[in-house]
Amino acid sequence: MKDDNFTSVIALGGLGEVGKNMYVIAHKEEIWIIDAGVLFPESDLLGVDYVIQDVTYLKQNQDKIKGLLITHGHEDHIGGIPFLLQNVEIPVIYGAKTSIGLIKKKLEDRSVPYNYDNLVEIDGNSKIDSKYFHIEFYNTTHSIPDSYGIVLHTPNGVIVQTGDFKFDLTPIGPMADIQKMAAAGQNGVKLLLSESTNALVPGFSTSESCVDETLSDIINGYTGRVIIATFASNIYRVKHIVETCKKMNRKIMIFGRSMESATQLALENGLIDDKSIFIEANEAKSLKKNEICILCTGSQGEPLAALSRIANGTHKQIQLQPDDLVVFSSNPIPGNAESVNRVVNKLYLKGVRVITNSEFNDVHTSGHGKQEELKLMLRLIKPEYLMPIHGEYRMQKMHKELGVSCGVDPNKIFIMKNGEQLIMDNEGCHMGSPVQAGDIYVDGSRIGEVGSIVIKDRKLMSRDGILITILNINPYTRKLLIKPNITTRGFVLVNESQELINKIERKTTEVVNNYLANNQYSYTDLKNQIILELHPFITNLTGRRPIVLPVIMEVKEASNNN
C-alpha cells in the first residue's frame, strides 16, 4: 500500500450539534462533499442570523472538489449552500428534484451567481462515477419529499451515509428502500455514518399516517375556523392538510413566507394538484367559519412569524375570533419551549382553543428515527465501523451504546468532533490528523466578520449597557476645556441618576487631567486609560460593567466664553 492510498472522512459540521451538517469524503486528488447546512443560533448569539462551517480545508483543496451531494432539502442540510458558493467553487451539485428547487430559490433570494446547468437532479436509481468513487442513492423516509441516503464505494471499502431517516411502514410518501439498504449490508459496509438526532428517545416513532388521521378528525369535527401551525419544510404534512381540507370543503389561507414558498414548490412538483383551494384573506369574508383553514408559520414561537403576530393582534389581515381552534402540529425544538409557551398563553388569553402535541393528541411526529429505528438501520447495514453523526455529544454517545447492542465492536465506533479526521485504509479505520474547523457567524450580509469578541461585546451591552464619555480637548494647550459629557444607553437613565453621573464625570476629569499632565498625548492611550480606570470605578459603584466608549473631540481654538 502506498502511503497516500487512504480514504479520509471529515465532518466540518454536524458533530456535537444538531445542524450545520457537512461531511467530506476524500481519496487522493478527489473530494466529495455531503450536504452544506446551517445551524440556527442560540439566544446568546445576539444578532447572528446563521452559523455555518469554517471551510478553510475546502479552500485549501479547491482543485480536488468533484461535487456536492445533497441528502435532502432541509435548512440544516442545504441552508449553507449560498454561503459556501461565495467561498468555494463547487463544480456540480447533485440533489433530488425537491432539493434542487429549494436550492435554486435560496440562490435567487441571495443573488448568488451559479450556473444552474450544474444543478443535477438525482433519484434512487442514479449512479455517479469518478476516478476513485462509485456513488449510489437509496430512498429514505423523512418529513420532506426526496430524502436519500448515500452509498459511496471507495478503494478502501464502502461508506454509507444515512441522511435523515425514520422507518415508517405507513408513510404518506414513498416507502424507504429497505431492500437496497439490506443489499448494501449483505455486500459489506466498512463504515456507517448514521444520524443521531433521536438517539436518546426510546421506541419507534409515530407513523405520519397516525398524525394525518388525527388532523383529519380535528379539521372534520370542528365547526369554527382551524388555524394550523407547522414546519413549512414538512411538505408531506402540508400536502395532507390540503387534501383533507379539500375533502371537507375548507379553503386555505397561507401566511408566512416560508410556508408560501413550500406550498409553491409542492404545486410545481405536483405534490399538490389543486391550486383553487388557496384563497386570499379578502376572499374569506364570503365564507362560513367551517369553510376556512389557516395554514401558517410560527410553530416554534418565532416573534416575527405569522402565528406570533396573530396571537399579538398585530397581523394586518387576520384577527382571532373566540371560536377559533389553533393546532400546533409540531414539537418545540430544544431552546424554543419558552417562546412557544408565550404564544400559547397569548392565544388562551384571546379566548381561543389550542391543541398541542401530547400523548392524547398525535398532531406531530418527528422525521428522525428513535432508538429502535437506529438499531434497525444498524442491523440492515451491518457495518464493521460506526461513526455517529448529526447530533449533540450525548446523542452520539448513546448511538454508540446502540451500536454495541447491535454487535458492533466498541473499539470500532468513533465519537468524533468537527475537524477530526477518520482514516480508512487496508488496516481498517483509525484517527488521523485534524483539519481546521469551527463556527462562522452570518450577520445580515456579512460572513465571518462577527467573531467571538463582537458577540462578547453584544452580550455585555445587552446585560450592562454602554456608557459614552465625550471629551473636548485642546491638543495645543493639552487642556480639558469643559467637563466630560456622559451619556448612556441600557445602563442608567441620566436624568434619574444625576448623582452617579456626577461621580463618573469627576472621575473621568481626574483621569484625563492626570494623563494630559504626565504623558505624551495619544488618542489611543488616553482612551485605553479612561476605560482601564472607569471600569472598576463604575463596577464598585453599581455592580455593573457597561462598555465604556470614550469619544475625543479636538477643539484647537477655545473661545473666551469657554
Q: Are residues 199 and 79 in the same domain?
A: yes
Strands 428-431 and 439-443, by their bridges, are unpaired
Q: Are residues 195 and 236 in the same domain?
A: no
Q: Are residues 333 and 393 in the same domain?
A: no
b/e code 152-185 from CB counts within 10 Å (16+ = b): bbbebbbbbbbbbbbbbeebbbeebbbebbeebb
Confidence bin at 558 (pLDDT 50/70/90): very low
CATH number of the domain where residue 152 is located: 3.60.15.10
Confidence bin at 335 (pLDDT 50/70/90): low
pLDDT at residue 562 is higher than 60? no
Per residue in 232-242, pLDDT (tens digit) is 888 888 988 99
Distance CA 25, CA 159 (A): 9
Contact 550, 471 (CB under 8 A): yes
Q: Is residue 550, in this structure, part of any structural domain at all?
A: yes
Confidence bin at 1 (pLDDT 50/70/90): very low
Q: Is residue 111, in this structure, part of any structural domain at all?
A: yes
Domain count across the chain: 3
Distance CA 387, CA 429 (A): 10
pLDDT at residue 485 is higher than 70? yes
Q: Are residues 87 and 235 in the same domain?
A: no
Distance CA 224, CA 248 (A): 13
3-state secondary structure of 324: coil
Q: Alpha helices of 4-110 — where are they, by DSSP H?
A: 56-60, 75-78, 81-85, 97-109
Q: Are residues 382 and 402 in the same domain?
A: yes
Query: 342 in the Ramachandran plot: left (φ > 0), alpha (ψ -120 to 50) or beta?
Result: alpha
| Predicted local confidence at residue 366, as pLDDT | 87
Contact 194, 369 (CB under 8 A): no
- Residues 246-253, mean pLDDT to the nearest whole number: 92
Distance CA 365, CA 280 (A): 30
Q: Are residues 400 and 438 in the same domain?
A: yes
Least confident among 120-124, 162-166, 363-367: 363-367
More confident residue, 71 or 332: 71
Confidence bin at 451 (pLDDT 50/70/90): low
Q: Are residues 195 and 216 in the same domain?
A: no
Strand partners, 53: 439
Contact 443, 40 (CB under 8 A): no
Distance CA 484, CA 509 (A): 7
Distance CA 274, CA 267 (A): 8
Q: Is residue 495, in this structure, part of any structural domain at all?
A: yes
Strands 292-296 and 226-230, by their bridges, are parallel
Can you tell me which residue has the cell 445542524?
A: 19
* Angle 163-330-317 from CA coordinates, rounded to 5°: 120
b/e code 22-40 from CB counts within 10 Å (16+ = b): bbbbbbeebbbbbbbbbbb
Contact 378, 369 (CB under 8 A): no
3-state secondary structure of 219: helix
Return mean pLDDT, the chain.
Answer: 89
Contact 429, 385 (CB under 8 A): yes
More confident residue, 22 or 357: 22
Closest C-alpha among 77, 76, 117, 72 to residue 95:
72
pLDDT at residue 165 is higher than 80? yes
Instruction: Choose the final residue of a domain: 412, 447, 482.
Output: 447
458 Cβ contact list (under 8 Å, min separation 6): 46, 47
* Angle 492-498-501 from CA coordinates, rounded to 5°: 70
Distance CA 13, CA 6 (A): 22
Q: Is residue 561, in this structure, part of any structural domain at all?
A: no
Instruction: Choose the final residue of a domain: 404, 421, 447.
Output: 447
Instruction: Choose the final residue of a domain: 355, 390, 416.
Output: 355
Q: Is residue 22, in this structure, part of any structural domain at all?
A: yes
Q: Are residues 392 and 421 in the same domain?
A: yes
| Predicted local confidence at residue 560, as pLDDT | 45
Q: Are residues 142 and 219 in the same domain?
A: no
Per residue in 492-506, pLDDT (tens digit) is 776 668 888 899 999
Per residue in 174-229, pLDDT (tens digit) is 899 999 999 999 999 999 999 999 999 999 998 888 888 888 988 988 989 999 99
CATH number of the domain where residue 294 is located: 3.40.50.10710
Q: Is residue 1, in this structure, part of any structural domain at all?
A: no
Q: Are residues 322 and 386 in the same domain?
A: no
Can you tell me which residue has the cell 481626574?
A: 510
Distance CA 336, CA 538 (A): 35
CATH number of the domain where residue 470 is located: 3.10.20.580
Which residues form the domain of 474?
Answer: 465-554
Q: Is residue 34, in this structure, part of any structural domain at all?
A: yes
C-alpha cell at 314: 398585530
Distance CA 116, CA 107 (A): 10
Contact 480, 516 (CB under 8 A): yes
- Distance linking the first and last C-alpha atoms of the chain: 85
Per residue in 213-225, pLDDT (tens digit) is 888 988 988 989 9
Least confident among 22-26, 64-68, 399-403, 550-554: 550-554
Q: Are residues 493 and 520 in the same domain?
A: yes
Angle between helices 235-247 and 208-221 in degrees, nearest 10 = 40
Distance CA 305, CA 312 (A): 11
Q: Are residues 146 and 51 in the same domain?
A: yes
Report the amino acid identity of residue 259: M
Q: Is residue 164, in this structure, part of any structural domain at all?
A: yes
